[in-house]
Amino acid sequence: MVVYTWQCSCGKIKANLKGKPCTQFNCCCRSCVAASTFIDDKGLGGLSCRNESGGAAVLIYPSNRVEFTTDLSENGQSLLKFIRVGEDGTPYRCYTKCCGSQLNNAIFPNLIAINSNGVLNPDGTKYDRGHVLNVKVSESFDPAMFPEPKHDTITPGMLVAFLTRLMNPAHPKPFDKRYKELFPEPSECEVVPITWEDNVSDNKINGEPERAKEQPMQDSSSSGMSLSC
C-alpha cells in the first residue's frame, strides 16, 4: 500500500496517510471558505486549505489509515489552535501553532477531512489530485465563480463514503482514543463570526432575507459532532 505524507509548511507536524483517500473534493460552502480565510488572514505564512478556485480542498481518510508521526503537544501544551464557525459551530478546524498551516477542515472520531495542500507523494513531490469536484456550490458566497466540475450539494457516493465510516461502531483506531489533542473543549476554540445571510438575492421570508441557519446532521458516534460544515 502506498503511503503519502501530510506535513505543515515548516515540517514540525507530520502524518502518514495510508493508501488513496476515500473521496476528495473542494467544499465551496460559506462556512468552509470563511474558516479557511479566517486562518489565512492571520498572515502566519502556513499552508492554506483553499484551492485555486477558493474552495476548501480536502481528502477524506478513515482514522485507521492515518498515523501522526510527530507529537501534537509539547511540554503539556497543544501544538494546534482551533476555530469554529459561529458560537455553537461544529466541526472544529485546526491549524498549527508553529507556522499557521491549516491541518483539517473537519474531524470526527472515525474520519478526517485533511488539507490536501499539505499532502506529498512517497518521493516528496506534491500530491496531484487531478480534476476534483467543487461541492456545495449552492451554499457558496458566489456560485458563479466555481468552475466545472461542480455540484450544488454533495454526491450520493460522497455521502455513502462518509456514513459507512461514521456509523460503524466497531471502527478501529478512532482518532479521539489516540489523539485527544485533536478534540478541544469548545472554550478553546476561536470563533469565526457568521457575517453572511443565506441566499440573500433569492431566498426571502416576508420580504426580508433569511439569516444563515445551521441545521446539522449528527454523527452517530459518542462525540455528537455535527456533520454539517
Q: What is the mean pLDDT of residues 169-196?
A: 90
3-class secondary structure, 137? helix
- What's the predicted TM-score (pTM) here? 0.86
Give the whole-angstrom CA distance, residue 77 versus residue 100: 16
Residue type, 203: N
Within the chain, how many helices (H) and strands (E) appear? 3, 16
Give the whole-angstrom CA distance, residue 168 versus residue 56: 26
The rounded mean pLDDT for the chain is 87
- pLDDT of amino acid 173: 87
- pLDDT of amino acid 199: 52
| Burial of 130 per CB tally in 10 Å (0-12, 13-18, 19+) | exposed
Q: pLDDT tens for residues 192-215? A: 999 997 653 333 323 333 444 443
- pLDDT of amino acid 216: 40
Percent of the chain predicted with pLDDT > 70: 86
Give the whole-angstrom CA distance, residue 30 versus residue 212: 10
Tell me the three cell numbers of residue 194: 457568521
Q: Are 222 and 109 in contact (CB under 8 A)?
A: yes
Give the whole-angstrom CA distance, residue 9 versus residue 216: 32
Nearest by Cα to 127 from 136, 119, 135, 115? 119
Q: pLDDT tens for residues 123-156? A: 999 999 998 999 999 999 999 999 999 999 999 9
